[in-house]
């Protein structure tokens, strides 16, 4: 039993680290392309390091929830990680639109976010599925 717990904890930790890395790194080229085109601007307030650290902390939090909910939903997913990714993408896409309605976020930033999320949620789902496995996999 202890080995199973250690294996499960190790897989969950690996899945969280991989998911956080994917969610943190994927937006760089997307937002970079939008910035190069003049559609978005880098944050002007605070330091770049402070901004990047805040984004990393947010992504870690999302990764923990993403992996935890995947693990809980594992029996019903039965290897179908696409619907799981779609639900997360839809939820975050709506958030992006909501932010764009407000005064401090542009439509271009929302589009860049939606594109990033359209890449990193399916990619994260596929990776988590491979690391954590699906119901019926040999553990």
How many CB atoms neighbour CB 80 within 10 A?
Answer: 12
Domain boundaries, the chain: 2-132
pTM for this model (two decimals):
0.88
Q: What is the pLDDT of residue 92?
A: 97
pLDDT in tens, 58-68: 999 999 999 99
129 burial type by CB count under 10 A (0-12 exposed, 13-18 middle, 19+ buried): buried
96 SS3 class? helix
Question: CA quadruple 32, 35, 39, 41: dihedral positive or negative?
Answer: positive
Q: What is the pLDDT of residue 1?
A: 47
Structure-token pair, residue 123: 């990619």
17 burial type by CB count under 10 A (0-12 exposed, 13-18 middle, 19+ buried): middle
CA-nearest of 87, 88, 89, 107 to 99 is 107
pLDDT in tens, 8-28: 889 999 999 999 999 999 999
């Amino acid at each position: 039993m202890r080995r199973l717990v250690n294996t499960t904890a190790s897989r969950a930790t690996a899945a969280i680290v991989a998911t956080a890395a994917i969610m943190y790194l994927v937006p760089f080229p997307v937002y970079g392309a939008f910035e190069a085109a003049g559609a978005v601007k880098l944050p002007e307030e605070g330091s770049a390091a402070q901004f990047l650290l805040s984004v990393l902390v947010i992504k870690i939090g999302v990764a923990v929830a993403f992996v935890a909910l995947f693990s809980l939903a594992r029996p019903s997913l039965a290897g179908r990680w696409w619907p799981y990714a779609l639900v997360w993408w839809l939820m975050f896409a709506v958030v992006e639109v909501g932010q764009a309605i407000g005064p401090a976020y542009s439509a271009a930033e929302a589009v860049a976010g939606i594109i990033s999320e359209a890449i990193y949620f399916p990619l994260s789902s596929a990776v988590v599925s491979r690391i954590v496995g699906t119901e019926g996999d040999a553990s």
